[in-house]
Protein backbone atom coordinates (compact mmCIF):
# COMPACT_ATOMS: atom_id res chain seq x y z
CA UNK A 1 0.00 0.00 0.00
CA UNK A 2 1.52 3.25 -1.15
CA UNK A 3 1.42 6.78 0.06
CA UNK A 4 -1.12 8.80 -1.90
CA UNK A 5 1.39 11.61 -2.37
CA UNK A 6 3.43 9.40 -4.70
CA UNK A 7 0.60 9.15 -7.17
CA UNK A 8 -0.17 12.86 -6.86
CA UNK A 9 3.38 13.98 -7.53
CA UNK A 10 5.66 11.60 -9.37
CA UNK A 11 7.32 13.85 -11.94
CA UNK A 12 10.83 13.40 -10.55
CA UNK A 13 10.40 9.70 -9.80
CA UNK A 14 8.76 8.25 -12.91
CA UNK A 15 11.62 6.76 -14.82
CA UNK A 16 12.43 6.37 -18.50
CA UNK A 17 12.10 9.76 -20.24
CA UNK A 18 8.90 9.79 -22.25
CA UNK A 19 7.44 6.76 -20.45
CA UNK A 20 3.67 6.70 -20.50
CA UNK A 21 1.82 7.62 -17.33
CA UNK A 22 -1.17 5.52 -16.26
CA UNK A 23 -4.00 6.11 -18.72
CA UNK A 24 -1.59 7.10 -21.49
CA UNK A 25 -0.38 3.60 -22.29
CA UNK A 26 -0.61 2.41 -25.85
CA UNK A 27 -0.95 -1.22 -24.73
CA UNK A 28 -4.24 -3.01 -25.33
CA UNK A 29 -4.37 -4.88 -22.02
CA UNK A 30 -3.73 -2.46 -19.17
CA UNK A 31 -4.05 -5.11 -16.50
CA UNK A 32 -1.66 -3.26 -14.15
CA UNK A 33 -3.84 -0.16 -14.05
CA UNK A 34 -3.94 1.32 -10.54
CA UNK A 35 -0.66 -0.46 -9.71
CA UNK A 36 2.54 1.30 -8.67
CA UNK A 37 5.76 -0.65 -9.26
CA UNK A 38 8.77 0.43 -7.20
CA UNK A 39 12.02 -0.22 -9.06
CA UNK A 40 15.24 -0.33 -7.09
CA UNK A 41 17.37 -1.34 -10.06
CA UNK A 42 20.85 -0.10 -10.96
CA UNK A 43 21.17 -1.82 -14.34
CA UNK A 44 20.12 0.78 -16.92
CA UNK A 45 19.11 -1.74 -19.57
CA UNK A 46 16.88 -3.66 -17.18
CA UNK A 47 15.51 -0.41 -15.77
CA UNK A 48 14.46 0.73 -19.24
CA UNK A 49 12.81 -2.58 -20.04
CA UNK A 50 10.94 -2.75 -16.73
CA UNK A 51 9.72 0.85 -16.96
CA UNK A 52 8.36 0.33 -20.46
CA UNK A 53 6.85 -3.02 -19.53
CA UNK A 54 4.99 -1.54 -16.53
CA UNK A 55 3.77 1.59 -18.30
CA UNK A 56 2.62 -0.38 -21.36
CA UNK A 57 0.31 -2.29 -19.06
CA UNK A 58 -1.14 0.81 -17.44
CA UNK A 59 1.01 0.76 -14.29
CA UNK A 60 3.16 3.50 -12.79
CA UNK A 61 6.91 2.74 -12.65
CA UNK A 62 8.67 4.59 -9.83
CA UNK A 63 12.43 4.56 -9.35
CA UNK A 64 13.79 4.28 -5.82
CA UNK A 65 17.46 5.06 -5.28
CA UNK A 66 18.13 2.52 -2.53
CA UNK A 67 16.26 -0.27 -0.80
CA UNK A 68 16.49 1.50 2.55
CA UNK A 69 14.54 4.42 1.05
CA UNK A 70 11.46 2.29 0.35
CA UNK A 71 10.15 2.38 3.90
CA UNK A 72 8.85 5.92 3.53
CA UNK A 73 6.70 4.94 0.56
CA UNK A 74 4.42 2.68 2.54
CA UNK A 75 1.50 3.60 4.75
CA UNK A 76 -1.88 2.15 5.68
CA UNK A 77 -3.71 5.17 4.28
CA UNK A 78 -3.69 4.06 0.64
CA UNK A 79 -4.99 0.59 -0.29
CA UNK A 80 -3.83 0.78 -3.93
CA UNK A 81 -1.77 -2.25 -5.06
CA UNK A 82 2.00 -2.10 -5.38
CA UNK A 83 4.88 -4.33 -6.39
CA UNK A 84 8.62 -4.19 -5.67
CA UNK A 85 11.42 -5.15 -8.05
CA UNK A 86 14.80 -5.10 -6.31
CA UNK A 87 18.21 -5.70 -7.83
CA UNK A 88 20.82 -7.47 -5.73
CA UNK A 89 24.19 -6.02 -6.77
CA UNK A 90 27.25 -8.14 -7.47
CA UNK A 91 28.99 -7.11 -4.24
CA UNK A 92 25.92 -7.00 -2.02
CA UNK A 93 26.03 -8.34 1.51
CA UNK A 94 23.34 -11.03 1.40
CA UNK A 95 22.60 -10.75 5.09
CA UNK A 96 21.83 -7.07 4.55
CA UNK A 97 19.66 -7.90 1.54
CA UNK A 98 17.71 -10.44 3.59
CA UNK A 99 17.23 -7.91 6.40
CA UNK A 100 15.91 -5.33 3.93
CA UNK A 101 13.51 -7.83 2.40
CA UNK A 102 12.24 -8.91 5.81
CA UNK A 103 11.64 -5.24 6.63
CA UNK A 104 9.68 -4.81 3.38
CA UNK A 105 7.65 -7.90 4.21
CA UNK A 106 6.68 -6.33 7.52
CA UNK A 107 5.83 -2.98 5.94
CA UNK A 108 3.97 -4.32 2.91
CA UNK A 109 3.22 -8.06 3.12
CA UNK A 110 0.68 -7.74 0.31
CA UNK A 111 3.18 -6.27 -2.17
CA UNK A 112 4.86 -8.91 -4.37
CA UNK A 113 8.68 -8.74 -4.26
CA UNK A 114 10.80 -9.81 -7.23
CA UNK A 115 14.58 -10.01 -6.75
CA UNK A 116 16.88 -9.79 -9.77
CA UNK A 117 20.65 -10.37 -9.88
CA UNK A 118 23.52 -11.44 -12.11
CA UNK A 119 24.69 -13.68 -9.27
CA UNK A 120 21.62 -15.92 -9.32
CA UNK A 121 22.33 -19.26 -10.99
CA UNK A 122 18.77 -19.67 -12.26
CA UNK A 123 15.26 -18.20 -12.12
CA UNK A 124 13.32 -19.36 -9.08
CA UNK A 125 9.53 -19.18 -8.94
CA UNK A 126 9.12 -21.64 -6.07
CA UNK A 127 7.86 -20.79 -2.61
CA UNK A 128 11.17 -21.69 -0.94
CA UNK A 129 12.11 -18.03 -0.45
CA UNK A 130 8.69 -16.71 0.53
CA UNK A 131 10.02 -15.16 3.72
CA UNK A 132 11.96 -12.61 1.66
CA UNK A 133 10.55 -12.61 -1.90
CA UNK A 134 7.98 -14.07 -4.27
CA UNK A 135 10.29 -14.73 -7.24
CA UNK A 136 13.97 -14.31 -8.12
CA UNK A 137 15.33 -13.77 -11.62
CA UNK A 138 18.74 -13.92 -13.16
CA UNK A 139 19.89 -10.87 -15.13
CA UNK A 140 19.39 -10.48 -18.06
CA UNK A 141 15.66 -10.90 -17.57
CA UNK A 142 13.94 -13.11 -20.12
CA UNK A 143 11.68 -10.56 -21.79
CA UNK A 144 9.25 -12.96 -23.43
CA UNK A 145 8.34 -14.68 -20.16
CA UNK A 146 8.21 -11.69 -17.80
CA UNK A 147 4.42 -11.44 -17.83
CA UNK A 148 4.19 -15.02 -16.56
CA UNK A 149 6.86 -14.25 -13.95
CA UNK A 150 4.84 -11.36 -12.54
CA UNK A 151 1.68 -13.48 -12.35
CA UNK A 152 3.60 -16.24 -10.57
CA UNK A 153 5.01 -13.71 -8.10
CA UNK A 154 1.50 -12.44 -7.41
CA UNK A 155 0.28 -16.01 -6.90
CA UNK A 156 3.14 -16.74 -4.49
CA UNK A 157 2.45 -13.51 -2.61
CA UNK A 158 -1.18 -14.52 -2.17
CA UNK A 159 0.05 -17.78 -0.67
CA UNK A 160 2.46 -15.90 1.61
CA UNK A 161 -0.33 -13.65 2.89
CA UNK A 162 -2.54 -16.66 3.52
CA UNK A 163 0.21 -18.39 5.50
CA UNK A 164 0.90 -15.32 7.62
CA UNK A 165 -2.71 -14.29 8.03
CA UNK A 166 -1.97 -10.94 6.37
CA UNK A 167 -4.25 -8.87 4.18
CA UNK A 168 -3.52 -9.09 0.49
CA UNK A 169 -2.78 -5.84 -1.31
CA UNK A 170 -4.71 -6.99 -4.38
CA UNK A 171 -7.29 -9.49 -5.57
CA UNK A 172 -5.59 -12.15 -7.69
CA UNK A 173 -8.81 -13.14 -9.48
CA UNK A 174 -9.34 -9.52 -10.55
CA UNK A 175 -5.76 -9.31 -11.84
CA UNK A 176 -6.23 -12.45 -13.94
CA UNK A 177 -9.54 -11.09 -15.25
CA UNK A 178 -7.84 -7.85 -16.31
CA UNK A 179 -5.06 -9.85 -17.96
CA UNK A 180 -7.49 -11.81 -20.11
CA UNK A 181 -9.82 -8.95 -21.06
CA UNK A 182 -10.17 -8.75 -24.82
CA UNK A 183 -8.01 -11.84 -25.36
CA UNK A 184 -10.83 -14.36 -25.88
CA UNK A 185 -11.67 -15.20 -29.47
CA UNK A 186 -15.19 -14.04 -30.49
CA UNK A 187 -17.62 -16.95 -30.86
CA UNK A 188 -18.68 -15.92 -34.34
CA UNK A 189 -15.05 -15.91 -35.54
CA UNK A 190 -14.47 -19.34 -34.03
CA UNK A 191 -17.58 -20.73 -35.76
CA UNK A 192 -16.51 -19.16 -39.04
CA UNK A 193 -13.10 -20.80 -38.83
CA UNK A 194 -14.70 -24.17 -38.10
CA UNK A 195 -17.06 -23.82 -41.06
CA UNK A 196 -14.23 -22.79 -43.38
CA UNK A 197 -12.51 -26.16 -42.79
CA UNK A 198 -15.36 -28.38 -43.96
CA UNK A 199 -14.38 -28.22 -47.63
CA UNK A 200 -11.15 -30.13 -47.04
CA UNK A 201 -12.81 -33.26 -45.58
CA UNK A 202 -13.81 -34.85 -48.96
CA UNK A 203 -10.24 -34.47 -50.22
CA UNK A 204 -8.90 -36.11 -47.05
CA UNK A 205 -11.26 -39.07 -47.57
CA UNK A 206 -10.19 -39.41 -51.21
CA UNK A 207 -6.55 -39.41 -50.15
CA UNK A 208 -7.12 -42.11 -47.55
CA UNK A 209 -8.98 -44.22 -50.13
CA UNK A 210 -6.12 -43.91 -52.61
CA UNK A 211 -3.47 -45.04 -50.11
CA UNK A 212 -5.67 -47.91 -48.87
CA UNK A 213 -6.13 -49.18 -52.45
CA UNK A 214 -2.40 -48.89 -53.13
CA UNK A 215 -1.51 -50.92 -50.04
CA UNK A 216 -4.01 -53.68 -51.02
CA UNK A 217 -2.48 -53.95 -54.51
CA UNK A 218 1.09 -54.07 -53.16
CA UNK A 219 0.43 -56.87 -50.68
CA UNK A 220 -2.19 -58.89 -52.61
DSSP 161-186: HHHHTPPPSS-HHHHHHHHHTTTSPP
Domain ranges in the chain are: 4-180, 188-218
Q: Give tens-digit pLDDT for 36-51.
A: 999 999 999 999 999 9
Residue 12 gets which letter from DSSP?
T
pLDDT value at position 212? 60
Sorted by sequence, the CB contacts under 8 Å of residue 138 that are 6+ apart come out as 116, 117, 118, 120, 121, 122, 123
Which residues is 2 bridged to in the sheet? 74
Instruction: Say how far apart CA 188 and CA 190 lie, in whole Å.
Output: 5
pLDDT value at position 208? 54
Question: Predicted confidence band at 218 (pLDDT cuts at 50, 70, 90)?
Answer: low
Q: Is the pLDDT of residue 146 over 70?
A: yes
pLDDT value at position 8? 42
pLDDT value at position 213? 63
What's the average model confidence in pLDDT over 183-188?
Answer: 44
What separation in angstroms does the CA of 45 have from each of 5, 39, 50, 65, 197?
28, 13, 9, 16, 46
Question: Predicted confidence band at 173 (pLDDT cuts at 50, 70, 90)?
Answer: confident
Superfamily designation of domain 4-180: Response regulator (3.40.50.2300)
**Biggest CA-to-CA distance, the chain:** 87
Q: Compute the mean pLDDT over every residue in the chain, rounded to the nearest whole number.
A: 77
Residue 8, burial from CB neighbour count under 10 angstroms (0-12, 13-18, 19+): exposed
Q: Is the pLDDT of residue 27 over 90?
A: no
B/e letters for 167-198, b = 16+ CB within 10 Å, e = fewer, are: ebbbeeeebeebbeeeeeeeeeeeeeeeeeee
What's the average model confidence in pLDDT over 120-124?
Answer: 93
Q: Give tens-digit pLDDT for 63-118.
A: 998 877 787 777 655 667 999 999 999 888 999 999 999 999 998 999 999 999 99
**With pLDDT > 90 as the criterion, what percentage of the chain qualifies?**
48
Higher pLDDT, 202 or 172: 172
pLDDT value at position 141? 95
pLDDT value at position 22? 44
pLDDT value at position 177? 83
Angle (CA) 109 111 117, round 5°: 105
Torsion of CA 53, 57, 60, 64, to 10 degrees: -20
Amino acid sequence: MLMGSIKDSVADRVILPGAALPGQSSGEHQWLRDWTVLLCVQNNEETGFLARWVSDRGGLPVRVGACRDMARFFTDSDPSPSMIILEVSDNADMSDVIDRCLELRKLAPGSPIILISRNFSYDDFSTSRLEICDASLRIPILRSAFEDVVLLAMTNNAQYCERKGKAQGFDLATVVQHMTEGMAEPVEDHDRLKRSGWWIIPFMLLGLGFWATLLVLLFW
